[in-house]
């Protein structure tokens, strides 16, 4: 295996594991707050990555996408957290908040990795591995958060849109769930999703992270 590839995997491994693990745990945690203990009872409201890692989605697919796009795109997923939406105190709106919890957690992680990068600079720690990891942490979490907000089930954005739509349209959208993953992968591989959704929203995410971190950076200049 090429040394640069090993280093790239090492740089991305920790941010990817944290991004996916905390994303799934956030779903389960918010579901518990809103009335459904399913994920909690099954041990999925956990920071232990082994409870969330899916061999295909967490390992195989990110590597496949990395090679297929020449390193330009990497995406993965964990084992979905079991949520019994009917157990939520308000199933319609509760499902929306549970779905938003994962992407929101990713955006907070992107900010945290940005703070880590700023701390490295302030402390004059010029170690390329850690600076690349900080940048990877921001990028991975923005990509994961944005792609999960795409409005197609079973992605989180699809469940949010289902909650917002009138019942008739919501039922029609929900029927796409068995095919949603394959539709999204096709849109990714053809570049359509990247062009019309991922690139502009990730760019906006970087702008927001930069705007939040700029006052922090200015304190140490």
Per DSSP, the three-state class of 78 is coil
Nearest to 205 by CA among 118, 129, 114, 131: 114
CA angle 91, 201, 142 (to 5 degrees): 75
Handedness of CA 100, 202, 50, 181 (dihedral sign): positive
What is the model's pTM?
Answer: 0.90
How far is the C-alpha of 49 from the C-alpha of 17, rounded, in Å? 7
**The pLDDT of residue 131:** 95
Residue 71: pLDDT above 90?
Answer: no
Residue 1: pLDDT above 60?
Answer: no
Residue 73: pLDDT above 70?
Answer: no
The predicted-structure confidence for 180-209, as pLDDT tens digits, reads as follows: 988 988 898 788 998 999 999 999 999 999
Q: How many CB atoms lie within 10 A of CB 54?
A: 16
Catalytic residue among 24, 31, 36, 75: 24
How far is the C-alpha of 151 from the C-alpha of 93, rounded, in Å? 16
Range with lowest mean pLDDT among 23-27, 59-63, 88-92: 59-63
Residue 79: pLDDT above 60?
Answer: yes
Contacts of 92-95 with CB under 8 Å at 24 or more apart are: 92/163, 93/163, 94/31, 94/34, 94/35, 94/36, 95/159, 95/162, 95/163
Work out the mean pLDDT of the chain and round it to a whole number.
89
CB 150 within 8 A of CB 142: no
Instruction: Give the pair of three-digit tokens for residue 68.
Output: 């297929």
Instruction: Give the pair of three-digit tokens for residue 145.
Output: 């958060």
Residue 43: pLDDT above 80?
Answer: yes
How far is the C-alpha of 103 from the C-alpha of 142, rounded, in Å? 9
Instruction: Give the pair of three-digit tokens for residue 140.
Output: 């991975």
Comparing 64 with 81, the larger pLDDT belongs to 81
**The pLDDT of residue 118:** 94
**24 catalytic, yes or no?**
yes
Q: Which residues contact 203 (CB under 8 A, 6 or more apart)?
A: none
How far is the C-alpha of 33 from the C-alpha of 92, rounded, in Å? 15
117, HSE (Cβ side, Cα atoms, 13 Å): 21
């Amino acid at each position: 295996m090429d040394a640069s590839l090993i280093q790239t995997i090492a740089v991305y491994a920790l941010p990817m594991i944290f991004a996916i693990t905390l994303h799934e745990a956030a779903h389960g945690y918010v579901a518990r707050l809103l009335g459904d203990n399913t994920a909690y009872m099954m041990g999925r409201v956990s920071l232990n990555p082994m409870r969330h890692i899916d061999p295909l989605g967490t390992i195989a697919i990110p590597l496949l996408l990395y090679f297929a796009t020449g390193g330009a795109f990497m995406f993965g997923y964990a084992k979905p957290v079991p949520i019994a939406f009917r157990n939520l105190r308000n199933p319609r709106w509760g499902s929306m908040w549970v779905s938003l919890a994962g992407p929101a957690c990713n955006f907070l992680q992107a900010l945290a990795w940005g703070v880590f990068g700023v701390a490295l600079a302030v402390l004059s720690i010029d170690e390329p591995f850690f600076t690349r990891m900080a940048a990877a942490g921001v990028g991975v979490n923005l990509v994961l958060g944005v792609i999960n907000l795409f409005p197609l089930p079973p992605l989180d954005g699809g469940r949010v849109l289902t909650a917002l739509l009138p019942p008739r349209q919501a039922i029609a959208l929900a029927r796409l769930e068995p095919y949603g993953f394959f539709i999204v992968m096709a849109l990714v591989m053809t570049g359509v999703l990247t062009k019309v959704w991922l690139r502009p929203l990730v760019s906006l995410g970087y702008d927001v992270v930069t705007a939040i971190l700029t006052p922090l950076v200015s304190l140490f200049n």
